[in-house]
Structure 1
Amino acid sequence: MEKKNVVVGFMGTKLDSGGGAGRWEKWRPTLSLTQHEDTLIDRLELFYPTRYKTLAQVLVEDIATVSPDTVVNLIPMDVKDPWDFGEMYAALYDWAHSYHFDPAHEQYWAHITTGTHVAQICMFLLVESRLIPGVLLQTAPPRKQTAGHPGSYTLIDLDLSRYDSLAQRFGQAHTDALEFLKSGIATRNKRFNALIEEIERVALRSQAPVLLTGPTGAGKSHLARRMFELKKSRHQVQGDFVEVNCATLRGDGAASTLFGHKKGAFTGAAADRAGLLRTAHQGVLFLDEIGELGLDEQAMLLTALEEKRFLPVGSDKEVSSEFQLIAGTNCDLRVNVAQGRFREDLFARINLWSYTLPGLAQRPEDIEPNVDYLIARAATETGRAVRFNAEAKTRYLQFAKSAQAPWRGNFRDLFASVTRMATLADGDRISTALVDAEIQRLNWLWEKTGTAAETSDIDLDALLPPDIAESLDLFDRVQLEAVVRHCRESRTLSDAGRKLFNQSRTQRAVVNDADRLRKYLLKFGLNWETVTQSR
């Protein structure tokens, strides 16, 4: 059994108007629906303002003339302001909610040629949300005005699940965004990939501050810039990417660099200075090592984030700037807050989206794709298509993924290592001899960094409570000395924990390196402050 055609729409107070004989000479969209010889409109649910009742009755009579089988239901709809979205949507929503739809026997067409633009948008939303279980109907006049010609109509189905190619396009856009954030590197670490996937959604959906934590060289600055470039490609920011390392800001110059100053504000202030916050207007401001920012500057930054305005140094007139903040740090800001070195209110403000980037040693499966990326990049920059010999690549990757390679400088160390081999390669091939020399160089580099800590004596007897020191096995003593050495080499408890549990942490659903290390030290009557006080 063929379904009945039911049209829902507004009477056009101008397009459908006309009372004299001349009305048959013009195209009237609602009337035209019933004039198509190959399409029968069984019922027309027609909204109209009561002050146009006479026009509505004329329209009903004219429809009866051209299509006697069409039933027209006039539905009074008086909206105080037809251009007010809230009022219009509420009126249509109430009607749709109470109307008895029968999709099994009827198909519904929502006519969007008539009515205000707001009414048309509301109709679109009701169909898209399936509150009106049908499709959109768009009518158009004939190209040449001809008396009695109905023009044309088009049906638009908003069920996007029917459009596989469109769904694939959205999926491809998502995939492209992820690859963009990863610079096209096919990373394999599941935790890192999940982290980047969430960052992609946040970058495109949120203007709130983002906090990136991770060891030096983990890629915080690079990721921040890629987030900006992704937002820029989607026209979400119009300004620039402005970056500063807060560890380089000291004294009076810190506030001046960030917030600007007025001429004569202090000795050497020979001219007005805009400051980086204003330079980042409508763009992204990346404050690396934000934990190094002074308390005064922290207070000024909090005001700028919350109120979008601030006072330049030496000025009594506020200025404004709209920017998104991305902050980077290699320390645990919670510790800084507890020690009074970082404002708790600022930490709460920038901690809405917080992500910890793992170091390279914690992502051994990502070393190979990063090496491939760096080799390809070197070839592009130098014009030499450098390649590894098969045996050389195997040897290098075995070392790079082993416990012998701590990658203390993370991607900076890896970049330097690949650059050296690509530059020194004879015949555009990296040989095993070149790899062996590079491994020797890396071992020397990392031994050099650790020499001071490794040669200094760690007096456990002075650290431990006497009863525990006396009962300590040699095994526990050797292990504890190594743990204390790592603690003294690390800036924070979390940083030390990440290094010490670099493999087992990847197998845990919930990662809390600081808590694991704290409990380990507590077994021997130690804590972070005691262990690190003499570093």
Structure 2
Amino acid sequence: MARRRVVFGFLGTTMDAGKLEARWERWRPTVALCQHEDFVVDRLELLHDTRSQSLARRVCADIAQVSPETQVRSTVMNLRDPWDFEEVYGALHDFARAYPFDRDGEDYVVNITTGTHVAQICWFLLIEARYIPAQILQLTPPRGGQEGGAGGYGLIDIDLSRYDRIATRFRVEAVEATSFLKSGIATRSEAFNRMIDRIEQVAVRSRAPLLLCGPTGAGKSQLARRIYDLKRSRHQVDGAFVEVNCATLRGDGAMSALFGHVKGAFTGALQERAGLLRSADRGILFLDEIGELGPDEQAMILRAIEDKRFPPVGADREVASDFQLIAGTNRDLAEDVAAGRFREDLLARLNLWTFDLPGLKERREDIEPNIEFELRRYAKAEGVQATFNREARERYLAFAMSPEAEWRANFRDLGASITRLATLAPSGRITQAVVEEEIERLRRLWARPSTGGGEDGLAGLLGPGAAELDLFDRVQLAEVVRVCRRHASLSAAGRALFAASRARKGSANDADRLRKYLARFGLEWRQVGPTTPG
């Protein structure tokens, strides 16, 4: 049994119209599409509004004369504004969803010659997304003065997978996108590369929250920034990338920093503050270490994700911010939920797309390409090229990939190591002597007590004296040490710890205040600072 050809198209309120007595003297596309002997239309689905019903009846009658075998079915589609993209797409989408397509017995074609440019774009989108399983029909008027003739036609199949050059281009763009997310590093870990492929797919197709899990230094912050850059290059975001380490948000200042405040909301609120969520409007908000947020902030973040609205501190009215959230954590949030430290409903909202970034020790095959990346980054930052000689390179790689190399801070350790090697390289050439010196430095670094040695890590710092601390002092000191480990200097850690009092002008010297606090327990900055050599 022969397949039937079905054509969809809008009635041309201008091109299909004309004076009744002269209508056969001019080219009318809807009538002309039924005049081609080599293109038989079995059924025409003609879309028009209520005001054009008289014209539709006249066109139907004329089609019956030139092509009696064509069945014409009129569908009324009233559009308030045929140039309103949302309205037109919505109406055509509803029409397509309700239409009883028979893919086994019928072939479908969409006539884009009539209708607004907006309608033509919407037809394209619906066909490309396969809501309408059709080809596109483009009609052209006759040449040589035959105004009443059938003219010409062309069929366009926009199933892009059928076109080798386009398909090849898509494959190249996909490779470029994943390379982009990896900062151009030719990573060799198959598991990591598969994960980056999946992240790229999700990033360009979804605005849902992403949760990046992994140890400190695994690259969560850099990956979040690259996701933003990728989406911005594709015009999917036009707002800012706003990053905040939730571990630095403490006390009353946390709500203000995240959600903003109005003037006079609290003592010291001398002017309005927009807050980080509003700063990320139409962009991406990266909440690193989201597990460090307090319960009130967690509740407000959940509301802001779901409603895109929230009240600033002290405000009577809500404000709006349409951001995409990327969250990072080095904690097991499921365990935190079980322990009552993290909201279960917030984790459920974040857990749609969760990706676990492995540490450097789990990706030893990627150490070598990351060394090359770090050397390029050093050259760009310092304007000086540095390279290994052969013996030095072999020695460093052998150590870096051995079980002896702990890489506690993951890629931060590696980046700092390469920076030191490049800085100390004589005439830009990293020698074996420089490598041996660096290896000893790393051994001393990793020989220092880590944050282990007890649940809070204080036993490794204080020895037996840790057991003599009151619970209050122990909890407070453990939190201070944890914040110190995350900051590059005493001043930076002090600013994070005393942000609220500084805003109230109650702290004159954050670094000195932190130094005196540590001294109460016999500690110095070099003991509690980040895990980099002193």
Same fold (TM over 0.5): yes
The aligned amino acid for 1:74 is: Q
**1:316 pairs with 2:320:** no
Mapped to 2, the partners of 1:452 and 1:125 lie a distance apart of 57
Q: TM-score under structure 1 normalisation? A: 0.73
Deviation at 1:449, TM superposition (A): 3.7
Instruction: Pick the aligned partner of 1:58 from 42, 56, 62.
Output: 62
Structure 1 SS opposite 2:416: helix
Q: Which deviates more, 415-424 or 265-274?
A: 265-274
The aligned amino acid for 1:222 is: Q
Q: Which deviates more, 402-411 or 284-293?
A: 284-293
| 4+ residue runs over 6 A deviation | 454-459
Deviation at 1:77, TM superposition (A): 2.8
Structure 1 SS opposite 2:69: strand
Deviation at 1:287, TM superposition (A): 1.3
- The aligned counterpart of 1:333 is 333
Percent pairwise identity: 51
Structure 2 SS opposite 1:363: helix
On the 8 A contact 2:288/2:327 being kept in 1, the answer is yes
Q: Deviations over 1:281-300 (max 9, x none)?
A: 11111111222212222222
Mapped to 1, the partners of 2:409 and 2:12 lie a distance apart of 72
- The aligned counterpart of 1:97 is 102
- The aligned counterpart of 1:530 is none
Deviation at 1:54, TM superposition (A): 4.3
Superposition pairs for residues 59-98 of structure 1, below 5 Å?
Answer: 59-61=63-65, 63=66, 72-79=69-76, 81=78, 84-85=91-92, 88-89=95-96, 93-94=99-100, 96-97=101-102
Superposition pairs for residues 338-417 of structure 1, below 5 Å?
Answer: 338-417=338-417
On the 8 A contact 2:210/2:327 being kept in 1, the answer is yes
The aligned amino acid for 2:7 is: V
Structure 1 SS opposite 2:375: helix
What's the C-alpha RMSD, in Å, of the aligned pairs? 3.5
Q: Deviations over 1:95-135 (max 9, x none)?
A: x429944x8xxxx7553324687599569856974976x74
Mapped to 1, the partners of 2:325 and 2:223 lie a distance apart of 13
Q: Which deviates more, 252-261 or 113-122?
A: 113-122
Deviation at 1:406, TM superposition (A): 0.4
**1:8 pairs with 2:18:** no
The aligned amino acid for 1:365 is: E
- Sort the Cα spacing of 1:344 and 1:111 in 2 relative to 1 into closer, same or farther, 3 A: closer
- Sort the Cα spacing of 1:43 and 1:71 in 2 relative to 1 into closer, same or farther, 3 A: farther
Deviation at 1:379, TM superposition (A): 2.3
Mapped to 1, the partners of 2:211 and 2:188 lie a distance apart of 23
Q: Which deviates more, 203-212 or 275-284?
A: 203-212
- The aligned counterpart of 1:444 is 444
Q: Deviations over 1:151-203 (max 9, x none)?
A: 44322123433310111111122111111110000111122112211111221
Mapped to 2, the partners of 1:402 and 1:30 lie a distance apart of 74
Mapped to 2, the partners of 1:451 and 1:292 lie a distance apart of 17
Superposition pairs for residues 41-440 of structure 1, below 5 Å?
Answer: 41-43=39-41, 45-47=43-45, 52-61=56-65, 63=66, 72-79=69-76, 81=78, 84-85=91-92, 88-89=95-96, 93-94=99-100, 96-97=101-102, 100-101=105-106, 110-114=110-114, 125=126, 129=130, 135-141=135-141, 146-148=146-148, 150-440=150-440
Mapped to 2, the partners of 1:216 and 1:273 lie a distance apart of 31
Deviation at 1:43, TM superposition (A): 5.0
- Sort the Cα spacing of 1:294 and 1:456 in 2 relative to 1 into closer, same or farther, 3 A: closer
- The aligned counterpart of 1:529 is none
- Sort the Cα spacing of 1:130 and 1:377 in 2 relative to 1 into closer, same or farther, 3 A: closer
Specify the structure having the higher radius of gyration (Cα). 1
On the 8 A contact 2:60/2:72 being kept in 1, the answer is no
Q: Which deviates more, 213-222 or 7-16?
A: 7-16
Q: Deviations over 1:434-471 (max 9, x none)?
A: 11111111111111245995989999xxxxxxxxxxxx
On the 8 A contact 1:127/1:158 being kept in 2, the answer is yes
Mapped to 1, the partners of 2:238 and 2:364 lie a distance apart of 38
Structure 2 SS opposite 1:77: strand
Q: Which deviates more, 15-24 or 429-438?
A: 15-24
Mapped to 1, the partners of 2:433 and 2:268 lie a distance apart of 56
Structure 2, unmatched stretches of 5+, are 48-52, 80-87, 454-458, 465-481, 483-534
Q: Which deviates more, 286-295 or 434-443?
A: 286-295
The aligned amino acid for 1:338 is: A
Mapped to 1, the partners of 2:354 and 2:74 lie a distance apart of 50
- The aligned counterpart of 2:82 is none
Deviation at 1:225, TM superposition (A): 0.9
Structure 1 SS opposite 2:312: coil
- Sort the Cα spacing of 1:458 and 1:19 in 2 relative to 1 into closer, same or farther, 3 A: same
Mapped to 2, the partners of 1:381 and 1:359 lie a distance apart of 25
- Sort the Cα spacing of 1:44 and 1:383 in 2 relative to 1 into closer, same or farther, 3 A: same
Deviation at 1:402, TM superposition (A): 0.6
On the 8 A contact 1:43/1:73 being kept in 2, the answer is yes
Q: Which deviates more, 423-432 or 356-365?
A: 423-432
- The aligned counterpart of 2:22 is 22
Instruction: Pick the aligned partner of 2:38 from 22, 37, 40.
Output: 40
- Sort the Cα spacing of 1:56 and 1:124 in 2 relative to 1 into closer, same or farther, 3 A: farther
- Sort the Cα spacing of 1:361 and 1:77 in 2 relative to 1 into closer, same or farther, 3 A: same
On the 8 A contact 1:110/1:127 being kept in 2, the answer is no
Structure 1, unmatched stretches of 5+, are 64-69, 460-490, 492-535
The aligned amino acid for 2:376 is: A
Q: Which deviates more, 20-29 or 368-377?
A: 20-29
On the 8 A contact 2:112/2:136 being kept in 1, the answer is yes
- Sort the Cα spacing of 1:9 and 1:145 in 2 relative to 1 into closer, same or farther, 3 A: farther
- Sort the Cα spacing of 1:383 and 1:148 in 2 relative to 1 into closer, same or farther, 3 A: same
Q: Deviations over 1:49-89 (max 9, x none)?
A: 8864444233443x3xxxxxx66323333436486325643
Q: Which deviates more, 169-178 or 309-318?
A: 309-318
- Number of residues of Structure 1 aligned to a counterpart in Structure 2: 441
The aligned amino acid for 1:46 is: L
Q: TM-score under structure 2 normalisation? A: 0.73
On the 8 A contact 1:88/1:119 being kept in 2, the answer is no
Mapped to 1, the partners of 2:105 and 2:322 lie a distance apart of 49
On the 8 A contact 1:224/1:326 being kept in 2, the answer is yes
Q: Deviations over 1:352-411 (max 9, x none)?
A: 222221111111000000001111222233333322111211111110011110001111
The aligned amino acid for 2:244 is: V
Q: Which deviates more, 25-34 or 169-178?
A: 25-34
Mapped to 2, the partners of 1:98 and 1:404 lie a distance apart of 63
